[in-house]
Amino acid sequence: MTTAATPQPAVWRKGDMIDRLVSLDFPRRGVIDLIYRAAREHHGAPLSTTAAHLLRQRLTPGRVALIATGWLDRPHVSRLVAENDGPPGAALLARALHAGLGAVPVILVEREIVDGTRLAVQAAGLRCLSPQEAVEAAASTARLHAAAVVAFPSDPAAAEQAAVDLCDSLDVGAFVAIEKGGRNEQGRIHTSRGDDTTAPLAKVDALLDVCRARNIASIGVGDGGNEIGMGTIRDRLRPELRFGQRCRCECGGGVVPSNPTDVVVAATVSNWGAYGIAAALAVLLDRPEVMHTEELEEDVLRACALGGFIDGVTGYVGPTADGLPLRVHRAMVTMLRAVVGVGVNSAAWS
C-alpha cells in the first residue's frame, strides 16, 4: 500500500462544494438529505474527497480497480432491460482512475449488459480488452488506454468462485460499487420500493466479502439506501427509510444492505456520486483534466442509449438518467469542473 499525504484544508473545502452539488435533490425524491447526512456524520468529512483520498492511497500505476455496476430493471419483462444510472458513472470514473492514477479499470456487470456497457466505456475513451490484455496495455511502451468489461455471475456459488478468481489473478487495489444492489441480512436484494430483485442481479456482495477479507479498499456509491455501501450506515437508514426495516417481499428484512464498505458516497444520482469522486481526485492531484468534459458526458449517455439502457424513472431509451434531462447532467459536469478550477479566475476576486 502506498502512502498519500493527508489532503490540505483547501482540498477538503472543495470536497464540501462537490458533495453539496452532487446531493442537490433536483428530482425532489426526498431521501438524499437523509442518506447524505448519515454518511457525512459517519465519515466526519466530505464523502467525495474521502473516497478519492482512499483511491489515491491504494491505486498505483498498473494496479486494478474493480468497478461493479449495472441494475437489471423490469426483469419481470426481460433481463435485457437495464437502467442507465450506474454504467455512465462507472465508465467515467474508470477514465478518471486511469488518467489520474494509472489504474487498470475492470468493470463488472451482469452478462446481459456486457455489450452495452462496453459501448459506454469506449465512449469514455478506454479500449475494451480482456483484463489480462488491459493490464499488459498499462505496461506497454506504446500508448494504449484500456479497460475490461467482464460478466459477473448472478448465481451465488458461481459468484463466490469468480470473486476469488478475480482477486487471485489480478493485482487489485480497490473495489468500487456504483448503483449496485446489496444483500440484506436475509441475503435478498431489493429495489428502493421494497421489491425483491435478487435473482437477476450479479451477486457482487461475494466480491465485497473477498475484498474486505484481503484488506482491499472498498467504496459504495448509491442514491436510494438499497445499494452496496449503504450497509455502512444501516443503523441510521433502517428506521428512517420507507422500506428500511420491512420490505414488500416475504423476507421482511428491509431494503438496506448488511455489508459495509470502507467509504460510502451518497448522491442524488449515483452517476453523480462517481463524478464527484472523479472531481475530488482531480482536485487532490491538481490535475483538472482528470475530470471529464460536458462533451464526454453527453457521448457516454448517448452510448448508453445506443446500448439499450433505459432511464429508470421514465422508462424511455435516451441520453437521460433518473428522470433528469441531458442538459441537467451536462450542467452538473460544468459545475463540478468549475469547482476543480476549469474556467474560473479566482485571482479576479483578490
Q: List Cα–Cα distances, 200 to 83, 99, 189, 204, in angstroms.
A: 14, 33, 10, 12
25 is written with which cell numbers? 435533490
- Domain assignment present for 2: no
Centroid of chain to Cα 33: 19
In a domain, 217, yes or no: yes
96 within 8 A of 290, measured Cβ to Cβ: yes
Quick: pLDDT tens for 160-193: 999 999 999 999 999 999 999 999 999 999 999 9
* Contact yes or no for 178/219 (Cβ under 8 A): no
In a domain, 3, yes or no: no
* The dihedral sign for the CA sequence 263, 269, 275, 276: negative
User: What pLDDT score was predicted for residue 348?
Assistant: 65
pLDDT per residue, tens digit, the chain (350 aa), is: 445 778 999 999 999 999 999 999 998 999 999 999 999 999 999 999 999 999 999 999 999 999 999 999 999 999 999 999 999 999 999 999 999 999 999 999 999 999 999 999 999 999 999 999 999 999 999 999 999 999 999 999 999 999 999 999 999 999 999 999 999 999 999 999 999 999 999 999 999 999 999 999 999 999 999 999 999 999 999 999 999 999 999 999 999 999 999 999 999 999 999 999 999 999 999 999 999 999 999 999 999 999 999 999 999 999 999 999 999 999 999 999 999 998 666 666 55
Decide: helix, strand or coil at residue 184: coil
Mark out the alpha helices in 102-186 (DSSP H runs): 114-123, 131-139, 156-169
- Report yes or no on whether pTM surpasses 0.85: yes
**Does 348 fall in a domain?**
no
Q: What single DSSP character describes residue 185?
A: T
Question: For residue 123, which amino acid is it?
Answer: A
Looking at the domain assignment, is residue 51 inside a domain? yes
- What's the domain range around 174? 9-342
Identify whether the C-beta of residue 23 lies closer than 8 Å to the C-beta of residue 36. yes
Task: Report yes or no on 182 lying in a domain.
Answer: yes
Place of cell 444510472: 85
Q: What is the pLDDT of residue 2?
A: 46
Question: What total number of domains does the chain contain?
Answer: 1
> Helix (H, G, I), strand (E, B), or coil: what is residue 249?
coil
What's the CATH code of the domain at 124? 3.90.1640.20
Is residue 68 situated within a structural domain?
yes
Residue 4 lies in a domain: no
